[in-house]
């Protein structure tokens, strides 16, 4: 899943989480497939960002999954002999992998 600016939304994307107004009213439910009309309605309602399935948008400065996993491995390189640290690294990697699928 990925949180993106409403300006980056495209028809065909699927909401992972509800799109809400500032006061918490639901405008679109999770699972809604976006159309251009829905995107425009969200913009008019003041929605600035939404959470969509997958990672359909490459945001400035954002690393892809392969880059993030390589960086994680580098960060944990000196403590790989510690089973707790190794397990922590594995949990982080699994979380990232799953978040890229959603």
pLDDT in tens, 88-100: 999 999 999 988 7
Q: In total, how many domains does the chain have?
A: 2
Pairing label, strands 19-20, 2-5: unpaired
Tell me: do 47 and 75 sit in the same domain: no
pLDDT in tens, 17-53: 999 998 899 999 999 999 999 999 999 999 999 999 9
pLDDT surpassing 90 at residue 63: no
User: Which CATH number belongs to the domain containing residue 46 in this structure?
Assistant: 3.90.105.10
Percent of all residues in the chain with a pLDDT value above 70, rounded to a whole number: 99
Q: Does a structural domain hold residue 60?
A: no
Q: Does a structural domain hold residue 25?
A: yes
pLDDT surpassing 70 at residue 102: no
Full-model pTM: 0.72
């Amino acid at each position: 899943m990925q949180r993106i600016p409403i300006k980056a939304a495209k028809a065909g994307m699927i909401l992972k989480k509800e799109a809400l107004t500032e006061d918490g009213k639901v405008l679109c439910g999770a699972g809604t497939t976006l159309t251009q009309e829905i995107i425009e309605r969200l913009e008019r309602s003041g929605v600035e960002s939404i959470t969509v399935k997958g990672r359909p948008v490459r945001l400035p400065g954002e690393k892809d999954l392969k880059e993030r996993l390589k960086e994680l491995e580098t960060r944990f390189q000196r403590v790989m002999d510690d089973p707790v640290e190794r397990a922590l690294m594995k949990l982080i990697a699994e979380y990232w992998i799953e978040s890229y699928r959603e």
